[in-house]
Amino acid sequence: RKEVEQDPGPFNVPEGATVAFNCTYSNSASQSFFWYRQDCRKEPKLLMSVYSSGNEDGRFTAQLNRASQYISLLIRDSKLSDSATYLCAVNSYNNNDMRFGAGTRLTVKP
Amino acid sequence: DAEITQSPRHKITETGRQVTLACHQTWNHNNMFWYRQDLGHGLRLIHYSYGVQDTNKGEVSDGYSVSRSNTEDLPLTLESAASSQTSVYFCASSDLAGGDTQYFGPGTRLTVL
């Protein structure tokens, strides 16, 4: 079993739709959680960190559920420019390394 | 502006050759990382460093080595390139150990024939 798992998608949604991604992790000692965005043939870029209390940045909301060991990303009012692959990342101070999910591909269509 | 760069951006080599990929960051970050990205596997950590003269093995370190002689650079060496090492390689850096945001370079696409 992979340490960090994501639904690979693809998710194909119309503009304006709300879409949610989940990411599960297996290491209960994980301490830090992130969502990255990766455009085709580009490097991953930080979208947002995920805090225990949940956090929101404009149309994006990230949540953490430690009991069930998953993080989620909600995108409201999807834009064409949201089309990308979304990677979740989990870090453990015990392991001192970041583990990434394989990514969920999102395509927003007109 | 501070940045992280990688070179070359594309490389084709032959099986058995030694290859070195460069990574240079100007943020003065202590932590630097090398990942490879393959379809279906996502990003996997190869090696990482928390400072000058410090190097550590990651999840998929076999066949790779790194050295850290200064803060800015972490070159990745493939001792004897294999076709299984055909991949996209990303370098990243961060300024706190174990949990801070990592910033990625543009990547190097390596093909081993």
Confidence of residue A12 (pLDDT cuts 50, 70, 90): very high
pLDDT at A31: 81
**Is the per-residue pLDDT at A96 higher than 60?**
no
Please tell me the distance from the alpha carbon of residue B15 to that of residue B70, in angstroms, as a whole number: 30
Please tell me the distance from the alpha carbon of residue A104 to that of residue A73, in angstroms, as a whole number: 11
Please tell me the distance from the alpha carbon of residue A95 to that of residue B29, in angstroms, as a whole number: 20
Please tell me the distance from the alpha carbon of residue B93 to that of residue A90, in angstroms, as a whole number: 16
Q: What residues of A are in contact with residue B25 (Cβ under 8 Å)?
A: none
pLDDT exceeding 90 applies to what percent of chain B? 79
Tell me the shortest Cα–Cα distance from A59 to chain B, in angstroms: 21
Mean pLDDT score of chain B:
92
Q: Does B49 touch chain A (CB under 8 A)?
A: no
The mean pLDDT of B60-78, rounded to a whole number, is 97
pLDDT at A2: 76
The residue ranking higher by pLDDT, B98 or B74, is B74
Closest-approach residue (CA) in chain A for B42: A102
Considering only CB atoms, A46 lies closest to which of B45, B58, B101, namely B101
pLDDT at B75: 98
**Is the per-residue pLDDT at B14 higher than 60?**
yes
**Is the per-residue pLDDT at B23 higher than 90?**
yes
Mean pLDDT score of chain A:
90
Closest-approach residue (CA) in chain A for B102: A46
Q: Does A68 touch chain B (CB under 8 A)?
A: no
Please tell me the distance from the alpha carbon of residue A85 to that of residue A40, in angstroms, as a whole number: 8
Chain A stretch 71-90, residues whose beta carbon is closer than 8 A to a beta carbon of chain B: 87, 89
pLDDT at B99: 54
Cβ atoms B26, B94 nearer than 8 A: no
* CB–CB contact B101 A92 (8 Å): no
Type of residue numbered A72: S
The mean pLDDT of B83-108, rounded to a whole number, is 87
